[in-house]
Amino acid sequence: MKLLDGIYTRRSVRQFTEEPVSDEQVKEIIKAGMWAPSGLNNQPWRFAVVKSDEAREGLAGLTKYGKVIKGAPVSIAVFVDREAMYNDVKDHQSMGACLQNMLLAAHALGLGAVWLGEILNNAEKVRELIGLPETLELMAVIAIGHPARSDQKSSRKDMSEVLLKEI
């Protein structure tokens, strides 16, 4: 898949087939996230893979989008390590760059994925479920699987609404 095509054709995928996602695919997606840029190259991202039936069930109970997590063969919970952070805004931006690389990588692998943010309402419970220390703060969960459909539509503003000045 060509890079620009991938950026433009990526969609949030919320329905998946039962086909499993391989460990190699999960690692590739995490590797892509790791190659995001970060301020001072501090690489504040940390990952937890959630794939057992029990863990997916538990995670699904912590968001109103539980159906998406239950239907996905694997989810990756993405945390920021507070001890690695140096600037809240910049570190949160880096985490977004990391998450975007992961979504693009899933798409490049022929998989579908969705960035779940509502689950941050239960960030502490997710951390406890996974069994990670308090220094880690949940940033998002990405649900991943083989897309059950590919007719997702999306839209963006016209460029004239967001490109405000040329000086």
The binder of a copy of itself chosen from 49, 69, 85, 141 (CB under 8 A): 49
d(CA 98, CA 29): 10
Helices 23-34 and 88-108: crossing angle, nearest 10°?
140
- Give the span between the Cα atoms of 72 and 75, in whole angstroms: 7
104 lies in the binding site for a copy of itself (CB under 8 A):
yes
What is the smallest separation between the CB atom of 163 and a copy of itself, expressed in angstroms?
Answer: 5
Q: Please identify which residue in 24, 134, 151, 166 interacts with a copy of itself, judged by CB under 8 A.
A: 166
Is residue 150 a contact residue for a copy of itself (CB under 8 A)? no
CA 105 vs CA 38, 90, 96, 100: distances in Å: 18, 23, 14, 8
Q: Which of 134, 150, 151, 156 binds a copy of itself (CB under 8 A)?
A: 156
Q: Which of residues 118-137 bind a copy of itself (CB under 8 A)?
A: 120, 130-132, 136
- The minimum distance between CB 3 and a copy of itself, in angstroms, equals 4
Among residues 151 and 164, whose Cβ is nearest to a copy of itself?
164
CB 72, min distance to a copy of itself, A = 14
Q: Is 32 helix (H, G, I), strand (E, B) or coil?
A: helix
Q: How many residues bind a copy of itself (CB under 8 A)?
A: 71
12: buried, middle or exposed (CB in 10 Å: 19+, 13-18, 0-12)?
A: middle
53-82: which residues touch a copy of itself (CB under 8 A)? 55, 79
**Cα–Cα dist 122/158, whole Å:** 35
Which of 66, 70, 96, 148 contacts a copy of itself by CB under 8 A?
Answer: 96
Place of tokens 């990526």: 10
> Is residue 16 near a copy of itself by the rule CB under 8 A?
no
